[in-house]
Amino acid sequence: MSTLREKHVLVGVTGGIAAYKIAYLVRQLIKEGAQVRVMMTEAATHFVTPLTFAALSKHPVYTDLWNIETSEERDITIRHVKLAHWADIVVIAPASANTIAKLTHGIADNILTVVTLATPRPVLLAPAMDVDMYINEATQQNLSRLKERGFYIFDPPAGELASGLHGKGRLPEVEALVEKIHDILERTPLDFIKKNIVITAGPTYEPIDPVRFIGNRSSGKMGYALATAASHRGARVTLVSGPTQLQTPRGVNRINVETAQEMLNTVLKHLRTANVLIMAAAVADFTPSTVAKEKIKKTALTQSLQLTLVPTPDILTEVAKKKKKVITVGFALETTNELTHAREKLQKKNLDMIVLNSYNDSNPVFGSDINTVTIINRWGEIEELPTLPKIEVAHKILDKVKSFMENR
Ligand code: C5P
């Protein structure tokens, strides 16, 4: 468990009966060599006293935005920012329905929510509450929005609850929490610090008339997972996004575009300062040659509507013409001769790496949270990955980019 040595773990405790278990968590983290600070909501202090956590962590506990006494540097104005950046990871356990809702909506009315909103580092939430509160649609929707924004959520185990009810909502065992913290820290080294990464995601919409367009089924999830992963690893991320339903990952600069042409313009604008460009977007290959000014009326048509489509600019090819140092990663989705076509694409578009989505019944790709890919680099090295959650695939791609940067 060496990953925890000297790591800064900021533990946030909210008001729930499971708060007492966090004393064991803090003790275990310290035993494993971590430096721990604790912040608590007012409600949490009704369950466990700050003194307990102060004694265990050997540091003052943060309970109040305004209390100068507990401020080590006596500077309350920037204390929350310092704490937010001090952390290698923020762990909110137990995470109450109330705090989950506040984080979802950006409400920052206590030290815990302020710091959590301000941190650029990974945040792990361990929801623990009564089963009815947990399965409530409001809580579930909030959790899925936070997940999309890159929060790590520990799915609560089912079992006997303090209320006497049975169901989901227990705080995980301390060992399981420590293991998860360990995994997240191992996954998110700050190895992209000061690197600018431009990532494209989602589909493009090519307009036919003011209300209709040609689009595709891309959900944007792979590109958004890449943005989340890169941001957790310290990169400055610009996410050039086609239309999606997804939440913007924390700390990411998102620029919305609609058409392939707009995506090209935006990518070129950010290319000069970019160290890495990852084109995860499913850019349309064709666009209507003209866009009707008014909505095309059914009555104006006799029997069928003819659309003339022209090719869109190929963004990667345009980038290849201008590229100096930027590392470029493309994606490929093929249905036949997958490897051969992916290799051809890598060469044709002068890419450093290509990620081949395997498209078959067991790998739906679009809209799914998992993906099966093969990564090929310009030296011909191939790595076939097993089916993994998209966030894991994203980290693997970044691992490859990192080693490519070091070895080229
Ligand atoms: O040639 P194909 O469209 O299959 O290549 C896919 C890769 O090229 C993806 O990385 C995609 O984002 C990128 N692309 C592009 N410009 C286009 C179409 C695709 O850069 N017009």
Residue 229 neighbours by CB under 8 Å, 6+ apart: 188, 391, 394, 395, 398
> Which of 108, 135, 127 has its CA nearest to residue 119?
108
- The mean per-residue pLDDT over the stretch 29-49 comes to 96
Q: What is the average pLDDT score of the chain?
A: 91
Q: Is the pLDDT of residue 194 over 60?
A: yes
Percent of the chain whose pLDDT exceeds 90: 77
- Measure 355 CA to ligand 1 centroid, in angstroms: 11
The pair of structure tokens assigned to 63 is 């309970």
Q: Where are the domains of the chain?
A: 8-187, 196-407
Task: Give Cβ neighbours of residue 253 (< 8 Å, ≥ 6 apart).
Answer: 236, 237, 238, 239
10 Å CB burial of residue 155 (0-12, 13-18, 19+) is exposed
285 Cα to the center of ligand 1, angstroms: 8
Catalytic residue annotation: 216
Cβ atoms of residues 372 and 386 within 8 Å:
yes
Distance of CA 58 to the CA centre of its chain: 33
What's the predicted TM-score (pTM) here? 0.88
Q: In this structure, what token pair is assigned to residue 208?
A: 């036919």
CATH architecture of the domain with residue range 196-407: 3-Layer(aba) Sandwich (3.40)
Distance from C-alpha of 319 to C-alpha of 335, rounded to nearest angstrom: 26
Give, using CA atoms, the residue closest to atom 5 of ligand 1.
Answer: 332
Exposure b/e, 359-378, CB count within 10 A at least 16 = b: beeeeebbeeebbbbbbbbb
DSSP category for residue 62? B
Q: Helices 111-118 and 97-105: crossing angle, nearest 10°?
A: 50
Asked if 236 contacts 208 with a C-beta cutoff of 8 angstroms, the reply is: no
Mean pLDDT, residues 60-78? 67
Ligand 1 pocket, mutate which of 263, 315, 338, 344 (most atoms under 8 A from CB): 315
Note whether 8-187 and 196-407 share their fold.
Answer: yes
Give the closest residue to 144 by CA, choosing from 245, 16, 253, 2: 245
Rounded-to-integer distance, Cα 121 and Cα 375, Å: 27
Locate the ligand 1 atom nearest the alpha carbon of residue 281 and give its number: 12
- Cα(333) to ligand 1 centroid in Å equals 9
DSSP state of 399: H
CA of 86 from ligand 1 middle (Å) equals 40
Topology of domain 8-187 in CATH is Rossmann fold (3.40.50)
Q: pLDDT tens digits for 81-117?
A: 789 989 999 999 999 999 999 999 999 999 999 999 9
Q: Which residues touch 350 (CB under 8 Å, ≥6 apart)?
A: 316, 320, 323, 328
CB count in 10 Å sphere of residue 186: 11
Residue type, 339: L
Close Cβ partners of 166 (under 8 Å, ≥ 6 residues apart): 131, 158, 159, 160
Residue 121 · residue 232 · CB < 8 Å: yes
Ligand 1 atom index nearest CA of 260: 21
Q: Tell me the pLDDT tens digit for each residue of 137-167.
A: 999 999 999 998 899 999 998 888 787 878 8
Q: What residues does 327 pair with on adjacent strands? A: 276
Instruction: Kindly list the protein residues whose Cβ atom lies closer than 6 A to any atom of ligand 1.
Output: 200, 260, 279, 281, 283, 285, 312, 314-316, 330-332, 345
Protein residue with its CA nearest to atom 4 in ligand 1: 332
